[in-house]
Every structure is written in structure tokens, then in C-alpha cells.
Amino acid sequence: MKLLIIALVCLQLSDAFHRVPLYKGKSARDTLREKGLLDDFLREHHSDPCAKFDGLTGVASLSSTEPMINYLDMSYYGVISIGNPPQSFTVIFDTGSSNLWVPSVYCNEAACSNHNRFDPQSSSTYRSNNRRVSIQYGTGSMTGILGYDTLRVSDITIHSQELGLSVTEPGGFFNHVKFDGILGMGYQSLSAEGATTVLHNMIAQQVISEPLFSVYLTREDGESGSEIIFGGVDPSHYQGPINWVPVTHQAYWQIEIQRVTVNGQVVACSEGCPAIVDTGTSLLVGPSNAITNIQQAVGATPSSYGMYTINCNDLSSMPDVVFTINGYDFPLPAPAYALKSNYYGQVTCMSGFSESNSYLWILGDVFIGEYYSIFDRGNNRVGLAKAV
């Protein structure tokens, strides 16, 4: 999660921030259960874990689907539980980081007290390893201790999963988010303190038959249907071929962009540039000069907080921004890169492109929402297909 939901702080001041239910202080699963919606929600999104068509081998495989809540098109999170008896948490399944951590009872900051906190003394299977951990994200950070306990994700049970328990969450950013913690899905080499990743344990403990996972993100605020599938692929979420792209560096899910074009003209990456496919970043982020070129090419205008606005009435006539990756073209149409919000009854559109000081591009949720993404650890590649 190189940049975690960088526009969320800007949106939190608007009425749009309250357009969907807030799951503060309890898990999404508990809230749905209280409203009598849990059975319908799971029936719609929770597939049979022992008979999921994986779309790659053409056979049934051991896989499991975890539904995710779409919050303002800015974050996607699902439910996990830790310990025995289970303690429930909502987490971002983040391909831009590799550690699992949740708030703990050892943390008394507002960022922790506003969320569910793990109590290791209430779990019969928790054990500490007496090590400390510190993780810095693009926005937000945590410090804490490492331990081991049973992790349950959907219908998957992982034993002795290493996890972080936050003691501090400096900066106040996590005070405002609607999820409790983060479950990193990056490579082992990216993990702080070398903590064993959840994906590594899924493969090692053979709870999934294919060493991969796939992500489908809806792009309508509050719309159901977003999901992550561990060990499989759902062909109903994409059309056309899966275009496979090799991972160029095994830390983030890093790939190479060959060029970025608008109306046939190269506007960025003329000599290629590295990029990561990151479910933990809301926008599509790139170096300042390159993003400025894209904003100008699509007709976006500068606004506050370093963001750009788009005229919502112009979407039908605005050009695609085309990313060429491994010889394949992945166009982003205007409705994909224009983020709509409703502020006091007035619909506005914000550009989904954002600048950073890093040389590394981040293909965040703006891109993943348009392209069903498969993260194949067994073959060290990313599959991209047109989402439907």
C-alpha cells in the first residue's frame, strides 16, 4: 500500500462521507447480521469453497471467496477473525504491503479505540514472539508487537499466522478510516521484520490448491459484489482473454508499463516505467510531470489539495488513457478515471489520477476496477482482463 486512500482525508469533510453505513466499533459481518442482511449477503457472494471454477485449469479447485464492502470507491474491505474464540475485524486486502496487523488492547489512541481491538489474553491460541514491528505507509503508520494466532479468512483457517498488534498508530490517519487493520498480500521480501505473510501460509498449509488470488472491484459507491478469491478465478467477472504480465521485481506486485498514450500520442513512459498493481491505493498515481501531462491531455483542471476536477458533462467526449503493458493495451475510459461525488446535492467529478514524488507508478483501484486482476504467485505474474 504505497499510498493508502490518498483522497479519503479530503472527502471526509463532505456530506458524501456519510452516504453509506459506517461500520465503526463492530465488524461488517456483525452489522449485516443485526440488520438481517447477512444471510442474503453471503448467499449472493459466498461461493462453495470446494467447487470453485478457477478459470485457469478448467477444473474445480479448493478456493474461497471473501466479499468486500465498497466504501465511496475509495477503499474495499472484508471480514476476518483472529484467535480462539474468534475476534472479528475488517481489513483492507492490500497487494501493496505484506504484513497482517490489527489494533490491539495495548493501544489507547483514538485510532485504536474507534475500531475493534484484539485482546490476546482472550485467545487460547495466541502466543507472542517478543518482537516489535514498525510499518510506514504512504499515509499512516503503526508500531506494535508481533505474535501468532489462528486466522480465519472466509472459509479458510490458517494456523499460527504471524500478525502485528498495534500499540501506536501515529499521525491520526487511521482514526478516520472505516476498516480496522490491513492484511498485506505482497511478497515475503516486503514484509516488515520478515513476518510470514498470509499468502505464504495459505500456500504452505495447502488451504488453497492454486497459489494465486484474484480481485474484483465494483466502481459504484455502496454497490455490492466486490470480492477477493483465494486460490481461484471467477470467469463471470471478466470478458475476453486474460493478458498475463510478468512480475519484474518480487516485493510489490511490480510490472513494467511500456507507454501511456492519449489520442495516439505518448504522454508518459516513453521509455518504459515500473508500476505496481496495488489494491490498497485508491487512485492511479504517477510521477508529477507524467500525471500533469495526462491531466492536460484529458482536459482536467487544477483544484484544491493537489487534485484535478473534471466536468461531469464532458465524460462522453473525453479520451481514453491507454496503458500499454507487455504488448497489450489497457484503455481507461473517462467514466473509469472520473470519480463522482455528491456534495450538498451537486454532483462533481474528480480526476482519478494523482501525482507523487516517486518514480514508481501505482495502478490502484481506479485501474483495478476496470480490469479484473489475478495475482499468480506460482508463476510470478499478474493477469488482467476486462472486468464486467
Nearest Cα residue to 352 out of 9, 1, 17, 74: 74
149 catalytic, yes or no? no
Question: Which residue reads 493508502 in cell numbers?
Answer: 4
Residue 314 CA to residue 347 CA, distance in Å, equals: 13
| Closest-CA residue to 387 (of 320, 333, 313) | 333
Concerning whether 39 is annotated as a catalytic residue, the answer is no
Backbone angles phi, psi at 40, to 5 degrees: -65, -40
Q: Which of 73, 94, 149, 180 is catalytic?
A: 94
Three-state secondary structure of the chain: CCCCCCCHHHHCCCHHHHCCCCCCCCCHHHHHHHCCCHHHHHHHHCCCCCCEECCCCCCEECCEEEECEEECCCEEEEEEEECCCCEEEEEEEECCCCCEEEEECCCCCHHHHCCCCECHHHCCCCEEEEEEEEEECCCCEEEEEEEEEEEEECCEEEEEEEEEEEEECCCCHHHCCCCCEEEECCCHHHCHHHCCCHHHHHHHCCCCCCCEEEEECCCCCCCCCCEEEECCCCHHHEEEEEEEEECCEECCEEEEEEEEEECCEEEECCCCEEEEECCCCCCEEEEHHHHHHHHHHHCCEECHHHCEEECHHHHHHCCCEEEEECCEEEEECHHHHEEEEEECCEEEEEECEEEECCCCEEECHHHHCCEEEEEECCCCEEEEEEEC
Q: 234, 278, 365, 376: which is the annotated catalytic residue?
A: 278
Indicate which residues carry an active-site annotation: 94, 278
